[in-house]
Amino acid sequence: MNSKFRNIFLCFGILAVIIMLFSFDMKYDELWNNLKRAGAYLPLVLVLWLIIYFVNAASWFLIIKDGKRSPISFLKVYKFTISGFALNYVTPVGLMGGEPYRIMELTPYLGVERATSSVILFVMMHISSHFCFWLTSVFIYVLLFPVGWFMAIVLGLITTLCLLLIILFIKGYRHGMAVAFVRLCSKIPYLKKHAVHFADKHKDKLETIDQQIALMHKQRKSTFYGALSLEFVARVASCVEVWLIMNILTTDVSFVDCVLIVAFSSLLANLFFFMPMQLGGREGGFALAVGGLSLSGAYGVYTALITRVREMFWIVVGLALMKVGNKKKSNIDDSR
């Protein structure tokens, strides 16, 4: 990637972090006391996400390789994964920062079509794993907890929504998503003119990207399901974070409880996708999810606080990694 664009991404990330620090809804002495209360669990949470990002990177690397020899090392993909998620955290509407960054970093290695298709596929796997995780959590709740009429309606709506989105994504896997996304943008006011111009100018590239997406779903089943499985494992592994934090406060919470807390809090937080770091939605989601399991809502607020600190730590690490190990590729690679 051109260093100018990398610096733009970096400056945007730093500005967002500064804004978040000044808008933190807690006094810093109170925050410090809560962090001291976490003790050794906080470093464990930070290391845990080093592992989770490793699993995410392995999923993306599997897509990039696609059964062949990869033109880029796993460590580079690992670095781009952490930096990409850091940009996603600080960007309103979630995926508007990290994914362009990943595409631009990968382009010198894979070319623009392969770089774009691999990033789109990785994002689709990442999102699809959330749907699978939420559906699994619904079944767990039904099996382990009594379901009243209100909860039955909520779980029914969640199941219906997830199934509809899964069907939509399956269609996207079979036929590609690039052209469909541009068509959708062409129907949105203010974007229509730009989307139509972009579609006309890059029609061949968009069709090539869609062909590559459909090809992996049709002919590379092991790659497809392997990447999806790794993303699902990452979702389950993220529940260990909540289990560790909850053990600071109580020993009455099982790992299954933590799976349900993460599932329902992440579902609510994603409804506030337009907020950087899902501010407000994450805290409210944790409080409601914990309350739904007959635990103190304060547990959810404390869990959200430690989670927010962990996110801030990895945002800083991800932004710093953007300036590390950026060797210039050869002119042959840059021309693709």
Amino acid at 268: L
More confident residue, 94 or 1: 1
pLDDT at 286: 54
- Sequence-ordered list of residues with C-beta below 8 angstroms from that of 173, at least 6 positions apart, any chain: 124, 213, 214, 217, 224
> Mean pLDDT throughout 300-312?
80
Segment 82-100 mean pLDDT: 76
Rank 66-80, 207-221, 266-280, 316-330 by mean pLDDT and report only the highest.
66-80
Domain boundaries, the chain: 3-327
- Indicate if the pLDDT at residue 277 is higher than 80: no
pLDDT at res. 276: 46
Give the tens place of pLDDT for each residue, 3-53. 666 666 667 666 666 666 555 555 656 666 767 777 788 899 999 999 999
CA distance 22 to 119: 33
The 3 state secondary structure assigned to the chain is CCHHHHHHHHHHHHHHHHHHHHCCCCCHHHHHHHHHHHCCHHHHHHHHHHHHHHHHHHHHHHHHHCCCCCCCCHHHHHHHHHHHHHHHHHCCCCHHHHHHHHHHHHHHHHCHHHHHHHHHHHHHHHHHHHHHHHHHHHHHHHHHCCCCHHHHHHHHHHHHHHHHHHHHHHHHHHHCCHHHHHHHHCCCCCCHHHHHHHHHHCHHHHHHHHHHHHHHHHHCHHHHHHHHHHHHHHHHHHHHHHHHHHHHHCCCCCHHHHHHHHHHHHHHHHCCCCCHHHCCHHHHHHHHHHHHCCCCHHHHHHHHHHHHHHHHHHHHHHHHHCCCCCCCCCHHHHCC
Query: What distances in angstroms separate CA 11 from CA 43, 70, 101, 176, 320, one per listed residue?
Result: 27, 31, 13, 33, 11
Decide if 90 contacts 17 (C-beta within 8 A). yes
- Predicted confidence at residue 163, as pLDDT, reads 92
Read off the tokens for 281: 């939605």
Quick check: 106 pLDDT over 80?
Answer: yes
Task: Say yes or no to pLDDT of 81 above 80.
Answer: yes
Query: Exposed, middle or buried, 230 (CB in 10 Å: 0-12/13-18/19+)?
Result: buried
Could you tell me the pTM of the whole model?
0.81
pLDDT over 80 (residue 132): yes
